[in-house]
């Protein structure tokens, strides 16, 4: 089924829509490399858990392109990273290239037009980080929240790898998706506090990740703000206030 692509712009922010008011991606025209939407910033909270901190992930897989927000951010601020982006719709890829400054293909960036759930079945490369953010015009994910998909993604992660999934709290399948992720990753799941837009970011990992106390968490958030213009300090304070004294990490 073809998508109805619509581009809007207001107050310096350009947004992508699939024939409705639902925002599928956004870019501040004056700062195209930064992450405009809160949930995209929080998807990159996985950087805080890098096992080789302050080094960042070198191989990244994205399922779902949207307006290319995560792709632009990684391309700009993680210059050593290599990205593969899998997007189902050629029209979305075209819009990202024409209207959202998607970087051109290179050794660092390969955009593949394919069904993400099918692509991971045949893939052989392994990744440090997998980002899953694929929705259609009705905010449905298709097969991107099934146990089989998550298991295939896990098989593509390196031993220290992390998978990040954007989930919608108001979706009827939200709880099931959380339980499915929990099963696929043997209980290693961490849900971040819900964003104002209703997004809940799930962090999962193959192995237990580093556990950060409040001081280390704040230090890493500050360094990300300074090096990547990625300000997660508000998120960090929310997490600390909700679970004071408990370390931040992903464990079973």
- What's residue 137's pLDDT? 62
Considering only CA atoms, which of 159, 164, 245, 147 is closest in space to residue 208?
159
d(CA 24, CA 30): 19
What is 35-242's CATH number?
Answer: 3.40.50.150
CB atoms inside a 10 Å sphere around CB 252: 11
pLDDT at 252: 84
Catalytic residue IDs: 133
* H or E stretch at 51: none
Instruction: Tell me, yes or no, if the pTM score tops 0.85.
Output: yes
- Neighbouring CB atoms inside 10 A of 71's CB total 24
Per-residue pLDDT, 11: 95
Q: Collect the ranges in the chain with pLDDT lower than 70.
A: 1-2, 136-139
- Domain segments of the chain: what residues? 35-242
Q: Which residues make beta-bridge pairs with 202?
A: 165, 191
- At residue 176, the pLDDT reads 94
**Which of these, 100, 125, 103, lies nearest to 13 by C-alpha position?**
100
Tokens of 148: 């089989």
Largest CA distance in the chain: 49
Q: What is the pLDDT of residue 139?
A: 67
Q: What is the pLDDT of residues 111-146, one digit of tens each?
A: 999 999 999 999 999 999 999 998 766 667 788 889
Question: What is the rounded distance in angstroms from the CA atom of residue 97 to the CA atom of residue 207?
Answer: 36
């Amino acid at each position: 089924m073809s998508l109805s692509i619509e581009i809007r712009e207001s107050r310096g922010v350009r947004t992508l829509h699939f024939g409705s008011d639902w925002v599928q991606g956004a870019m501040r025209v004056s700062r195209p490399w930064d992450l405009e939407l809160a949930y995209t910033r929080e998807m990159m909270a996985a950087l805080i858990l890098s096992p080789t901190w302050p080094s960042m992930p070198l191989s990244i897989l994205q399922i779902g392109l949207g307006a290319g927000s995560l792709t632009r951010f990684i391309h700009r601020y993680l210059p050593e990273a290599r990205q593969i982006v899998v997007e189902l719709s050629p029209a979305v890829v075209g819009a990202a290239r024409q209207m959202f400054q998607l970087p051109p293909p290179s050794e660092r960036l390969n955009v593949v037009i394919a069904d993400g759930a099918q692509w991971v079945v045949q893939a052989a490369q392994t990744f440090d980080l997998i980002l899953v953010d694929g929705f259609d015009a009705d905010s449905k994910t298709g097969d991107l929240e099934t146990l089989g998909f998550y298991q295939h993604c896990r098989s593509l992660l390196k031993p220290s790898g992390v998978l990040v999934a954007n989930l919608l709290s108001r979706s009827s399948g939200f709880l099931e998706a959380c339980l499915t992720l929990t099963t696929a990753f043997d209980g290693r799941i961490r849900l971040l506090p819900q964003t104002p837009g209703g997004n809940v970011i799930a962090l999962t990992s193959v192995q237990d990740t580093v556990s950060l106390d409040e001081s280390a968490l704040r230090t890493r958030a500050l360094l990300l703000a300074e090096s990547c213009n990625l300000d997660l300090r508000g998120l960090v304070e929310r997490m600390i206030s909700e679970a004071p004294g408990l370390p931040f990490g992903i464990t079973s």
